[in-house]
Amino acid sequence: MDNAREVKSIIEGLLFAWGDPLEIKDLSSVLDIEVSELESILKEMIDDFNYNRRGLRIIKFNNSYQIGTRPEHYEWISKLNQDKYKKNLSNASLETLSIIAYKQPIIKSDIESIRGVKCDRALDTLMKKNLIKEMGRLERAGRPILYSTTDEFLKYFGLENLKDLPHLSELNPFEEK
């Protein structure tokens, strides 16, 4: 394909129609465009959407892309259908998720040791919301499940990858600078 405008239009249509995140290798295969060239086109599209303050944006996380709405428009979008949006995460779920994000892969007993309380309900909630996943099992007695975050976690918190998490030192207000 030679026409850059047409390629961008097709990419936008693919991302919109697919709905879920699309890996760059899949887009590359469908469009028959090299990954490096496609990354450049997607970067231009992201910059263009942001510069023109469009109602939609292209979200990149890990090696996937997705079309979504701007977070600053949430107030208006949420008015459209209040029932569509699920309850926010509880403090227990957020604490559990934070521990998993920073210590992954991690087993339940280690999470509970850090939190000081059981975390079964929080783990169940996070699994149902697809924010965490089972990564496998630890090779030791009882073979406990290893937990890690998902791409949905990155999307939920607006992160491109785990390197975008703030350093723990930035989060501790009591630590001396």
- Tell me the mean pLDDT in the region 47-63: 92
CA distance 12 to 8: 6
On the question of pLDDT at 1 being above 70, the answer is: no
The residues, any chain, with a CB within 8 Å of residue 138's CB and separated by 6 or more, are 107, 144, 145, 146
| Residue 2 binned pLDDT confidence (cut-offs 50, 70, 90) | low
> CATH number for the domain including 11?
1.10.10.10
| Residue 45 binned pLDDT confidence (cut-offs 50, 70, 90) | very high
- For the segment 104-121, what is each residue's pLDDT rounded down to a tens digit? 999 999 999 999 899 999
Q: The domain containing residue 42 runs over which residues?
A: 4-73
Residues 56 and 97 in one domain: no
Which of 73, 100, 133 is the last residue in one of the domains? 73
CA distance 154 to 68: 13
Residues 66 and 97 in one domain: no
